[in-house]
Amino acid sequence: MKKTWWQGKIAYQIYPKSFLDTTGNGIGDIRGIISKLDYLKKLHVGILWLSPCFLSPLADEGYDIADYYRIDPRFGSNEDLFTLVEEGKKRGISVILDLVVNHCSDEHEWFQAALADPEGPYGKYFYIEEGVDGHAPNNWRSYFGGSVWEPIPGTNKYYLHLFHKKQPDLNWENPRLREEIYKMINWWLDRGIAGFRIDAIMNIKKVFPLAGHDYPVDREDGLSSCAQMIQEARGIGDFFREMRDRCFVPHDAFAVAEVFDERPEQASVLIGSEDGYFSSMFDFQANCVGRSDKGWYDGKPVGPDQYRDACYQTQKIIGKRGFISTIIENHDEPRGVSRYIPAEELSDRSKKFLGTMQLMLRGLPFIYQGQEIGMENTHVDTPDQISDISARDEYRVAREAGLSQDEAMAVVNRMSRDNARTPVQWSDAPQAGFTSGKPWLAVNPNYKKINVAAQEKDPDSVLNYYRRLTALRSDPVYGDSIVHGDFDPFMPEEPRFMSFYRRGDKKLLVLGNFSMNEKKVRISDQVKKVILSNVNSDPGQIRPGQGGEGTEISLAPYQALILELA
């Protein structure tokens, strides 16, 4: 496939609200990000994605945008952002923003104008429908619970919101709306932004007519998941193509899509190597394992083998037809180490193991803030301590399904979006060095043990291991094979074992013992070089010349090795 400027990079996601606060208001800011650019450079970051920091009432933490052209003063100013872009450039770091265009905030001037005159031009920027017999136009449930329809006071009309009621959906069928969006995208790209992460994008195409378009009721609330619309809708590619050709192609921008619920045949079209609509999309295969339509409470935990199988499945679907973006976590998901590694097996070594697996897969790795120091899920005791709107709704759903408060809280603690949103743990100073004030979300109490400052000093820390790992993608000898090489599983059926070849100019084997027991494996090729291992001491020392002719290699618990084979 065609080589691009972004394929060999390490990407890093920042959730600005929780990154670093320089003003003492308890909310992270862009100045904080600027002050950590050298830290990111040391992690070999080449692409920085900022979750939204535009003007917003923060009903959904910024995914409800009231002005697409302005940074929210709580995060800083447009000037700060341009400084970040400039300072990033000096360090080889490109900044990408979050493109939230399925919906805007109800406080956006477009929506205010639509409410004032639903029949006027701005009414057509949204989906506004008459009620049917005094009821909402259809029976869809929003992603955050309750109907997707909100009545407009003083009328028989309703507006559509697939997410929160403060996030009215934008009407992509309206060419004027699309023009506004493209103008905005190009405005940022013209100012040095290198691209976008595109939010909830599969939702922009609806099914028509909306009114009366019911799906079979699937929960006690008498509603039905709106996500079914994604399976049914046709023609979304026309919007994607137009956006790509009008905005991304002319700027050679990087566009990574947040895609959920696509039909299997869509994946390689979305990111096809020559004419895909996007540069890349996230691999959510592992995040979706064990999901239930009934809600989080009915979901099943993901084990090591399921994690591995999910990764392999994606690699098989995408192959070399496109370039997937890999994650173990993000701002919507629990921490990867808390999710894919059984709690009693969690250690620095197993955290390094998981990082090795993610970073050695074919694709563009996104590291989520704090992942590089092994940040873990947090814990809250009572429902009033839940901040995330989604977790609050899931708590209610779990209670309505008959779970006790303790049981429902266990569900929340396992899945809540707050898990990954706690402030970054910079040091063991008060509030983990995140703020001099009161953090908007409580710091994870384990910050005394897990923090950047302590790990800086320890050559064997998770952080310093990640630095060695991230260096490999730009390594003059091995980088090209890691970025572009073929992916082939090795012993894919072996339980609690995750190993694969990466073959380019060099023949690499990533060996991983995903268990607490020692594991012996036979490899038919001789080891030419041990490129990286997360175990430094004997046993677990694999040496060049081992392997071949049926000899055995012994892997220590949770050992991960990157080998060059002869």
**Residue listed under structure tokens 């595109």:** 198
Out of 58, 66, 81, 100, the only residue in the binding site for ligand TEU (CB under 6 A) is 100
* Binding residues for ligand TEU, total number by CB under 6 A: 13
Least Å from the CB of residue 164 to ligand TEU: 8
Is there a contact between 169 and 236 (Cβ–Cβ < 8 Å)? no
**Of residues 166-205, which lie at the interface with ligand TEU (CB under 6 A)?**
199-200
Active-site entry in 129, 258, 262, 329: 258
Q: At what angle do helices 389-400 and 405-415 cross, to 10 degrees?
A: 140
Q: Which is nearer to ligand TEU, 85 or 389 (CB)?
A: 389
**Of residues 213-232, which lie at the interface with ligand TEU (CB under 6 A)?**
227
Left, alpha or beta for 370 (phi > 0: left; psi -120 to 50: alpha)? Answer: left
Is there a contact between 511 and 496 (Cβ–Cβ < 8 Å)? no
Active-site entry in 80, 199, 262, 388: 199
Least Å from the CB of residue 92 to ligand TEU: 27
Least Å from the CB of residue 143 to ligand TEU: 4
* Choices 255-263, 273-281, 352-360, 486-494; region in contact with ligand TEU by CB under 6 A: 255-263
Least Å from the CB of residue 98 to ligand TEU: 8
Q: Which is nearer to ligand TEU, 204 or 563 (CB)?
A: 204
* Choices 256-264, 303-311, 458-466, 528-536; region in contact with ligand TEU by CB under 6 A: 256-264
**Of residues 26-65, which lie at the interface with ligand TEU (CB under 6 A)?**
60, 63
Closest residue to ligand TEU in the complex (CB): 63
**Of residues 329-348, which lie at the interface with ligand TEU (CB under 6 A)?**
331-332
Q: Which is nearer to ligand TEU, 197 or 351 (CB)?
A: 197
Q: Which is nearer to ligand TEU, 34 or 286 (CB)?
A: 286
Out of 67, 260, 446, 503, the only residue in the binding site for ligand TEU (CB under 6 A) is 260
With H, G, I as helix, E, B as strand and everything else as coil, classify residue 525. Answer: coil
* Of 369, 91, 460, nearest in space to 468 by CA: 460
Both structure tokens of 379: 């814990």
Least Å from the CB of residue 102 to ligand TEU: 7
Q: Which is nearer to ligand TEU, 287 or 358 (CB)?
A: 287
Q: Which is nearer to ligand TEU, 78 or 231 (CB)?
A: 231
Residue 191 sits at the vertex; the CA angle it makes with 189 and 197, to the nearest 5 degrees, is 35
Q: Is 199 noted as a catalytic residue in this protein?
A: yes
DSSP annotation of 247 reads I
**Of residues 357-416, which lie at the interface with ligand TEU (CB under 6 A)?**
none
Q: Which is nearer to ligand TEU, 204 or 482 (CB)?
A: 204
* Residues sharing a CB contact under 8 Å with residue 258, sequence separation 6 or more, in sequence order: 197, 198, 199, 200, 201, 281, 282
Q: Which is nearer to ligand TEU, 13 or 350 (CB)?
A: 13
Question: Which whole-number Å values give the CA distances from 160 to 136, 166, 232, 550, in the listed order?
Answer: 10, 10, 18, 63
* Residues sharing a CB contact under 8 Å with residue 356, sequence separation 6 or more, in sequence order: 469, 510, 512, 532, 534, 560, 562
Peptide bond into 492 cis (omega under 30): no
Out of 261, 345, 460, 486, the only residue in the binding site for ligand TEU (CB under 6 A) is 261
Q: Which is nearer to ligand TEU, 100 or 170 (CB)?
A: 100
The secondary structure of 184-234, three-state, reads HHHHHHHCCCCEEEECCHHHCCCCCCCCCCCCCCCCCCCCEECCHHHHHCC
Least Å from the CB of residue 163 to ligand TEU: 4
CA 260 from chain center: how many Å?
A: 11
Cβ count within 10 A of residue 232: 12
Least Å from the CB of residue 531 to ligand TEU: 34
d(C-alpha 276, C-alpha 272), whole Å: 4
Least Å from the CB of residue 344 to ligand TEU: 29
Q: Is 305 noted as a catalytic residue in this protein?
A: no
With H, G, I as helix, E, B as strand and everything else as coil, classify residue 99. Answer: strand
Is there a contact between 506 and 478 (Cβ–Cβ < 8 Å)? yes
Host H or E run for residue 287: helix 285-288
* Choices 23-31, 126-134, 247-255, 257-265; region in contact with ligand TEU by CB under 6 A: 257-265
Least Å from the CB of residue 260 to ligand TEU: 4
* Choices 116-124, 254-262, 515-523, 550-558; region in contact with ligand TEU by CB under 6 A: 254-262
Least Å from the CB of residue 161 to ligand TEU: 10
Give me the sign of the Cα torsion angle 171, 172, 177, 182.
positive
The secondary structure of 396-452, three-state, reads HHHHHCCCCHHHHHHHHHHHCCHHHHCCCCCCCCHHHHCCCCCCCCCCCHHHHCCCH
**Of residues 313-332, which lie at the interface with ligand TEU (CB under 6 A)?**
331-332
d(C-alpha 432, C-alpha 250), whole Å: 43
**Of residues 138-167, which lie at the interface with ligand TEU (CB under 6 A)?**
143, 163
Q: Which is nearer to ligand TEU, 56 or 425 (CB)?
A: 56
475 binds ligand TEU (CB under 6 A): no
Catalytic residue ranges: 199, 258
Question: Which residues are near ligand TEU by CB under 6 A?
Answer: 60, 63, 100, 143, 163, 199-200, 227, 258, 260-261, 331-332
